[in-house]
Structure 1
Amino acid sequence: SRTIEQLSTYAENPQESTVLVICYKYKTIDKRKKLYKTLMKHNGLIFQSKKLYENQVSEWIRLTLKSKGYSISHKASVLLVEYLGTDLGKISKELEKLEFILPKDTQITPDHIEEHIGISKDYNNFELKKAIGEKDVLKATRIIKYFAENPKDNPFVVTLALLQNFFSQLLQYHGLADHTPKNVASNLRINPYFVSEFQVAARNYPMKSVSSIISTLREMDLKGKGVGAGNMSQADLLKELLVKII
């Protein structure tokens, strides 16, 4: 990146028979400097591919599948994002797997995700977050029991990170003056599909309670790393986490 500006010499007198493509990763070309200005002068094109926010990835999945002749239910796309994050490379590989197995014109459902990718449609962090937001103790207990029995597929650190993000966003929700779905989705950078979850959770967890839970989650993070918790099992950590939140 420190020598990228040296290309301005070539950009001043490019080979007309050559199409030169430069992949400049992790940074953005400085528009104030000579290279950018020279490229623009000689009909160069700058394409900036920004990393998608999490709330944009579900739509990317839908459009990608649509271009291949498939559709996907919203819950199925949410499961993929919750499990794979925003790494489009990982997601593309899993989509290719589904495209190889399933015929065109198929609507991909949570059942397909569970069968062919291995993500449980009922026992996952997405469903746990929803159950906790609704204060559905029975459902949340069933999910953490499943997590405790399958610790490798459901690491405590991932569950904790998702809940920390959820309650941080819920605190932000409480601070909004305008709780219309459009404004909430925009400010929290979430898919409008999830706004109703925050509306329900906000009724169950007032601002003071949310602040206390965030503090508790920090303590649980330390315990998960073995600080002041001895050798607590994942099952015990999950049980304590649920009790302290709900």
Structure 2
Amino acid sequence: MATAQDIIKDLKNRKFKPVYLLHGEEPYYIDLIGNYIEHHLLSDAEKGFNQTVLYGKDTDIMTAINAAKRYPMMSDYQVVIVKEAQDMKWGRDDDDKKGINPVLAYLENPLQSTILVFCYKYGKFDKRKKTYKAIDKHGLIFESTALYDNKIPGWIEAYITEKKYRISQQASAMLAEYLGNDLSKIANELDKLMLNIAQGQEISLKDIQDNIGISKEYNVFELQAALVKKDAYKVNQIVNYFEANPKANPIVLVLGNLNNFFSKVLAYHYVKDKSNAARELGVNPYFLKDYEQAARGYNLGKVFQVISYLREYDLKSKGVDSNTDHGGLMRELMFKIIH
């Protein structure tokens, strides 16, 4: 299957398909390809007459097909892009009473002078549909799959390298832990970070702490470390900082990270061959020592209890059976986890 980079390379070389279906759970690559088509295939002069951008909520499949049937004016190609195509009414996927389906009729014999693009995000298009099969036969289908958490540090390193920068393994692992697996969010943060660093320089932990809003001493990773050591004083210091800076440290993010951490501690308890623990857990080997230490301090029964507490306080933070402020909830939860 062609990668996003393969598709963009072909587009740069003016090798076009008459229909593109860009679909999948990870929107980053769908946006990457769709934006390249929107901004680079036609000149500014050609776009006025030959580029149509539609939005799924405001259109239907026949509107898109009718636009695609037009011929370009003073250009070799016209471009029709349907953004948020997952919200579009796709209509029938079979023939009508007269034995005709105008959508399939076009997709099975598309105009070579039209580049029709469907950006179908946050889910997979139904591969059983005739529409899918027609596009697959006469156009190009790209599925953008979500990356597993353990693949994110490598993705960050590749992204940084492509921009002519370097990044330490510890820094890429920390970014992955902090930002999650939303590639658009990660790319945005990396782009902002690189504005403050000379090209070719290695991005360090300090650079990330200084530029992405992660406090050197008071962040969710330091909280995890303090909980592993059962350092009540340090835990309370961090919680007080979080309470004073709620926008930088929202309780939902903190609880989500802690739940992810203790879920991996739980999984670590069940790994039989500890030498393969990093691969089994899907974590960067740099962080494996944290899970090893946590497993020593929190036995299996306690980890189950901690995860139960985290789920309970996640509901409370959303107002379920609780009127306590977020700072108070965090202090209660930390006490229960440590004790």
TM-score normalized by structure 2? 0.62
Contact (CA 8 Å) 1:113, 1:121: kept in 2 or not? no
CA distance in 2, matches of 1:72, 1:7: 48
**1:115 alignment partner in structure 2:** 210
**2:12 alignment partner in structure 1:** none
1:124 CA displacement: 0.8
CA distance in 1, matches of 2:320, 2:90: 45
RMSD (Å) for aligned C-alpha atoms: 2.7
Query: Greater share of strand residues, 1 or 2?
Result: 2
> In structure 2, what residue type is equivalent to 1:30?
D
Pairs aligned (count) = 242
**2:104 alignment partner in structure 1:** 8
SS of residue matched to 1:21? strand
Counterpart mapping for 1:25-40 below 5 A: 25-40=121-136
Where does the alignment leave 5 or more consecutive residues of structure 1 unmatched?
none
Query: Greater share of helix residues, 1 or 2?
Result: 1
1:202 to 274, 295, 311: 295
1:91 to 186, 193, 198: 186
> In structure 2, what residue type is equivalent to 1:3?
W
Alpha carbons of structure 1 residues 186 and 36: separation in structure 2 relative to 1, 3 Å: farther
SS of residue matched to 1:24? strand
Contact (CA 8 Å) 1:76, 1:108: kept in 2 or not? yes
**1:135 alignment partner in structure 2:** 230
> In structure 1, what residue type is equivalent to 2:105?
T
CA distance in 2, matches of 1:199, 1:238: 25
**1:238 alignment partner in structure 2:** 330
**Does residue 80 of the first structure (1) align with residue 167 of the second (2)?**
no
1:105 CA displacement: 0.8
CA distance in 1, matches of 2:166, 2:155: 12
1:150 CA displacement: 2.2
After superposition, what is the alpha-carbon deviation per residue over 1:149-205, rounded to whole angstroms, capped at 9, x for unaligned? 323322223222222222223223223333333xx3444333333332222211111
> In structure 1, what residue type is equivalent to 2:90?
T
CA distance in 2, matches of 1:89, 1:131: 31
> In structure 2, what residue type is equivalent to 1:191?
N
1:83 CA displacement: 4.0
CA distance in 2, matches of 1:128, 1:161: 13
> In structure 2, what residue type is equivalent to 1:10?
Y
Contact (CA 8 Å) 2:165, 2:202: kept in 1 or not? yes
1:116 CA displacement: 2.5
Alpha carbons of structure 1 residues 75 and 124: separation in structure 2 relative to 1, 3 Å: farther
**2:306 alignment partner in structure 1:** 213
**1:157 alignment partner in structure 2:** 252
SS of residue matched to 1:238? helix
Percent of aligned pairs sharing the same letter: 47
1:136 CA displacement: 4.1
After superposition, what is the alpha-carbon deviation per residue over 1:16-64, rounded to whole angstroms, capped at 9, x for unaligned? 344433222233233333233333433x322111122333222211111
CA distance in 2, matches of 1:38, 1:216: 51
Where does the alignment leave 5 or more consecutive residues of structure 2 unmatched?
1-85, 94-101
TM-score normalized by structure 1? 0.82
SS of residue matched to 1:153? coil
